[in-house]
Amino acid sequence: MTAPIRLAVVGMGKIAHDQHLPAIAAGKSFELVATVSRHGEAVDGKPFFNNIDELAASDVEVDAVALCTPPQVRRTIAETAIENGWHTFLEKPPGATLAEVVALRDLADEKGVSLFASWHSRYAEAVEPARDWLANRDIRKVTIIWREDVRVWHPGQHWIWEPGGFGVFDPGINALSIATRILPDPFFVETADLDVPSNCAAPIAARIDFRGAKGTPISMDLDFRQEGPQSWDIIVETDAGTLKLAKGGSVLTIDGNEQRQPAEALHGEYPGLYRRFAAIIRAGVSDVDLSPLRLVADAFLRGKHNSVEEFIE
């Protein structure tokens, strides 16, 4: 029997507690051996360190790390992990810029460790069935609506409004990670309107028009100010009917008829991510897809920045 991979989690915020720790505990591939954070305390009596240098200097044996810090500070932490020979899981978005993620990929290749740029929404239950259904369809129009309440999903997370924090593109990149997975052809930014609160550096809402390689129009509506029901939908009109992915990729309907998916053990996005991370480690390869991050970068490059009212949490 293959021994579990000894894993440390770095950055013990909301996503680590809500998603990473339960997924690690539920699976058999990883053993949590330590946690690292500027704030917080030990988990289940495991060794706790204030920074990754303290972990590296300790006698804790580590094979891999999951980095759950904000993207702005992740590059140097990831470099330390890779230099120590630790396989590295990057929470999404994988970095604050394209250049630093490319540099991390190159460093991982040089050091012979696995680097995983994770896109958790791709592991929602209905994403692969949607991809399969669309593979041979004539796609005529795509509409992406991703509207949620930032006060509910990112309470007190001030980093998200700072340069490199992505603003509404933090959830928006989830939609793009699904779209780049399920649509058979690449697509490109044509226009973008970014609404930036006057007291923030990142947008609170955005409207982007893309064009597919074959001319397919793709529109995207992002908003962090949604109250009441939340919207995480991708609607694809084809020659064979209309496909809709709802609830962030977990519900698939075709012409209004829900398509039931077979239940799997350990189903869910983060268990799927950790199965993938274990698989690439065992195979000695990396998985670093930059296409969602490139599209966000292009939206900022081509976008018109509109100043809107202050955001007060």
Distance separating alpha carbons of residues 269 and 9, to the nearest angstrom:
17
Nearest to 190 by CA among 304, 284, 268, 50: 304
Q: How many Å apart are CA 54 and CA 281, to the nearest integer?
A: 24
Annotated active-site residue 214? The verdict is: no
CA 147 to chain CA centroid, Å, is 16
Q: What is the SS3 assignment for 66-112?
A: EECCCHHHHHHHHHHHHHCCCEEEECCCCCCCHHHHHHHHHHHHHHC
Phi and psi at residue 34, to the nearest 5°: -170, 160
Q: Which two tokens stand for residue 278?
A: 């274990």
Q: Which of 174, 143, 171 is nearest to 157 (CA)?
A: 171
Catalytic residue among 14, 28, 46, 92: 92
**Among all residues, which ones are annotated catalytic?**
92
